[in-house]
Amino acid sequence: MKMKKWTAAILAAALSVSMLAGCGSSSNNSNTDADAGSAADTAATSSLSGEVTVFAAKSMTDCLDELIEDYNEENPDVAITANYAGSGDLQSQIENGAPCDLFLSAAQKQMDALCDEGLMADETRSDLLTNEAVLVVPKDSDAVTSFEDLASDSVAKVAIGNPDSVPVGQYAQEILTTLGIWDAVNAKAVLGSDVRQVLAWCETGEVDAGIVYATDAAVTDSVTVVCAAPEDSCAPVIYPIALTKDGAENEAAQSFLEFLEADDAAAVFEKYGFGIAE
């Protein structure tokens, strides 16, 4: 009987050890699963880090801010600084040595000049977006019903971008010249430093009308779009993009350029009214 009791005791002890081992194995498996999950989370975000300075036309403000946030969700260690202004002002800043990795212009003229000066990495240049010039008036105004009305005596002030440095002003001058009313409108023109200043004057009623991009008119309820520029009255509104020579050496800047040229970014651009250049 004693032998049987000892045997039973030994078997019970062995069973307890086996159960404890099983519990330990389960715990280890849980830890392994947790580690695997953590690794998967890490893999979902990029290990890329660095700083990127983007110079972009003022009309890009809203959509590019959103795209930077989207990019940082997958690349949290890349710090992107955006400088928004008229494309001509941005061109001058780059020419004067301001740090810039990526330039997104609202017209070819400014990009062409920088490429000719050897400041851009030409091989990275592409046409990214399209837009449209439109005539706007303060909300509820009916003083202007066409571009031709801008030359009438009943219109006192017309806001346009400065044609010397602001692409939307260059497009406006081209449209009004094609229509044969540039001299009459120029005499009453109020020149803005960028398209958002032109838009702001129209919003507050400081001017009778203005010429802005369709995408800018779409971000406010305080103006009414009268009409788009007549077909063939100006060159197509194209937004080129390229890395600077310094940006071409910046891995994070290269990554952000690729992101902006991808399908996901295209969907955001289209949400804000931009077209995707062919």
Annotated binding site: 59, 87, 195, 213
Which residues is 212 bridged to in the sheet? 134
Q: Using CB atoms within 10 A of its CB, is residue 3 exposed (0-12), middle (13-18) or buried (19+)?
A: exposed
Residue set of the binding site for molybdate: 59, 87, 195, 213
Do residues 202 and 159 make contact, with C-beta atoms less than 8 angstroms apart?
yes
CA 233-237-241 angle, 5° bins? 160
Is there a contact between 90 and 83 (Cβ–Cβ < 8 Å)?
yes
**Which structure tokens are listed for 174?**
């081209």
Cα separation values, 9 from 16, 22, 83, 202, 270, Å: 11, 20, 79, 94, 77
| CA angle (189, 215, 252) in 5-degree steps | 115
**Cα 225 from chain centroid (whole Å):** 23
Return all residues near 270 (Cβ < 8 A) that are at least 6 apart. Answer: 276
Measured distance CA(198)–CA(156) in Å, rounded: 15
